[in-house]
Chain A
Amino acid sequence: MVLLVLIHFMISVYMHHKTAKMKLLTLNFLTCAVKTCKSSSDSFPLHPKDAELASDDVDVNPELLVNLLPRLDWKALKTTSAELGFPQLPDSPPTIEQLQSDDKLLKDLHSLLMETNLMEGKLVCGVCGHEYAVREGIPNFLLPSHLV
């Protein structure tokens, strides 16, 4: 019995290590998949619920952050960051020049977007309340037929 529990524990650790992960960056590009929700601004961002996070080491990629900065929905990022319990982001995004000249800012943003991963939990739409399950770092956006 003890052995079984031990094996189960080892598998869960192993699984946790080996399956997918989703960077928080990606969350800034995901909205509710239900078509009728798209017109409402409340369907974005999706709200993490019972979220399990994991962080890993990724080389800082200043070129990527500078390129993506204009595409980030900063307000949504601020919401996501607050909901996951990270320190408050400023109300408005930095300019590209600020990002390029401020090493700490670059590292903080990198750490939040590229090194923080959503592993388990749910993503909830603020309009329809639909909960998209996240298992092993892979959110499932498939909808039942009455929502298609």
Chain B
Amino acid sequence: MEYLIRFSQSHETFRLPELQALAVLEGIDMEVVSYSLDSPFCIIRLPPSSPPITTTTLARRLIRRSILAMSIHELWGHGPDLASVHAAVKSTTSPLWPSYLSCSFKFTLDSYQGSRTSDQKVSIINSFSYLGFMGPIKMRHPDQEFTLHELWPFNSTPLGIPEPNHLYFTRYLGSSLRDLPKKLDLKKRKYISTTSMDAELALITANIALAGPGKLFYDPFCGTGSFPIAVAEFGAVALGSDIDGRSIRGDGREKTLKGNFEQYGLLGRLGGTFTADLTNSPIRKQELGSDGDGVRGRVFDGIVCDPPYGVREGLMVLGVRDPEKTPWVERKGREMYKQADFIPPRKPYGFLAMLDDILQFAAQTLVDNGRVAFWMPTANDEEQEMPVPSHPYLETLSVSTQVFNKWSRRLICYRRIPDKDVDSAAVKAREERILVGKTADELNPFRKAYFEGFQTPPATTGTSTPAAPATETPPPN
């Protein structure tokens, strides 16, 4: 049977990765029949299921925790005009009609990018009278809801376009968690910072990474806890760390990462937080290629993060920038590091090196088929676009993009490949390459392009002139 998913027409490139992740999570063998970034209507096919679970149940399960899908419907017929919809409904669904003869019901019209007058609505709804439903019509909480979805061309009302491009007739089955982002809205969260990820995208990230009950998740750049909260909301236990312990502590009273978990009643799912640097991580790791059963030795079901982009503040890791020029920095460290208020020195860190370190860390700590999903920025100009990083132990599953004025950020999701399936040639190639660079700009092509205003590089390399970021763009972190 075919089903119609009614998506929200927003964050379009995240919709299919989220839906496909949910199919994996629910163990549903879903086939996407038709999908377009320009349409909120997606047709999928589900295989016949074995009792006691009906296919209808599977359809409801598929989107029950989706953020970007709004509802799922049994597809009775579709076509380019109303006549072809009627023909399809009559030819394929007449055996279903008697089941709905006496229940209460309502008809709705879901017109995307278009509208109908009330007279038109009534006449369209009446054209379905051959279904013969005799039950009472109830506008609130009917037993069944039938919908005619219409896909109109863009701007159809001002352009005076008389008819939609495509129509779908459906029976409503179930809804999603489309309202969940409101619960976790940053505007109402007690403790946030300038770089807290908005609730909707954090939840989508958690879905794409398969966060769920009984699982252990980790965010190595947790900040105020947006991702740990999102994975915990879906039932996972979350660990978080940050190189800056102040972001976890907050004001030490009400505005703390833990306070945010309390606010949402998720405290039982906060495993712990600690101050640490990814390049010198205290997390127990497994040497690559040495893990027999793919679980023992590796710790996490998922890793989700929005690493710092190094625009607001240069990226830093532990260490001294130039140990030969400033030997006293290290000497002082040796003498002072045991004191409680000692702050270890830090040095600039490469953006690409950091992404590579995240992937390496994920390969060493994710269980087989565990997922890592992280955000990275890139310029919109193709010439300055940054490549999607890769790792031989990780399969790239999806790349979703949120576009701002001159730059975008991408959510990239990978799956940990079991050791036995890893391509040994790719492992060898990885061991032979080297990453170089010393200053913040050399180390961070995105930062450089950002401050040059994302202009295509001129023939002569001049000095970089900082350009103000576009006004409608939220500042990157």
Contacts and interface: CB of A to CB of B under 8 A. Distances in A.
Interface residues of B, number: 58
B298 A18 contact: no
Contacts of A29: 239, 283-284, 299
A145 B319 contact: yes
Given A15-B252, A64-B213, A114-B268, A148 B273 contact: no
A110 B333 CA distance: 40
A142 B243 contact: yes
B241 to A, nearest CB: 8
Interface stretch (B111-119, B274-282, B373-381): B274-282
Interface stretch (A47-55, A67-75, A81-89, A97-105): A67-75
Contacts of A142: 243, 275-277, 280, 318, 344
Interface string B330-372: 1001101110101011000000000000000000000100000
B256 interface: yes
Nearest to A135: B340
Given A29-B284, A142-B243, A19 B275 contact: no
A139 B275 contact: yes
Interface residues of A, number: 49
A135 B323 CA distance: 30
B214 A66 contact: yes
A144 interface: yes
B323 A140 contact: no
Contacts, number: 156
Interface string A35-66: 10010000010000000000010110101101
B295 to A, nearest CB: 5
A14 B239 contact: no
A18 B259 contact: yes
A25 B237 CA distance: 11
B274 A138 contact: yes
Contacts of B277: 33, 141-143
A49 to B, nearest CB: 13
Given A133-B340, A145-B344, A20 B214 contact: no
B320 A141 contact: no
Contacts of A64: 213-216, 237
Contacts of B334: 144, 146
A129 to B, nearest CB: 11
Interface in B270-327: 270-277, 279-285, 293, 295-299, 301, 318-320, 323
Contacts of B171: none
Nearest to A30: B282
A20 to B, nearest CB: 5
B318 A18 contact: no
B253 interface: yes
A136 B252 contact: yes
**Complex A-B, nearest 6 residue pairs according to Cβ-Cβ distance, in ascending order:** A63-B214, A22-B272, A144-B333, A26-B272, A144-B337, A58-B268
13 contacts: A14-B253, A18-B252, A18-B258, A30-B282, A38-B285, A67-B216, A68-B216, A71-B297, A137-B272, A141-B275, A142-B276, A142-B318, A143-B337
Interface of A: 14-15, 18-23, 25-26, 29-35, 38, 44, 56, 58-59, 61, 63-64, 66-68, 70-71, 73, 114, 131-133, 135-148
Given A20-B272, A136-B249, 12 more contacts: A18-B254, A19-B249, A20-B273, A26-B239, A59-B268, A64-B214, A67-B301, A139-B275, A141-B281, A144-B344, A145-B319, A148-B319
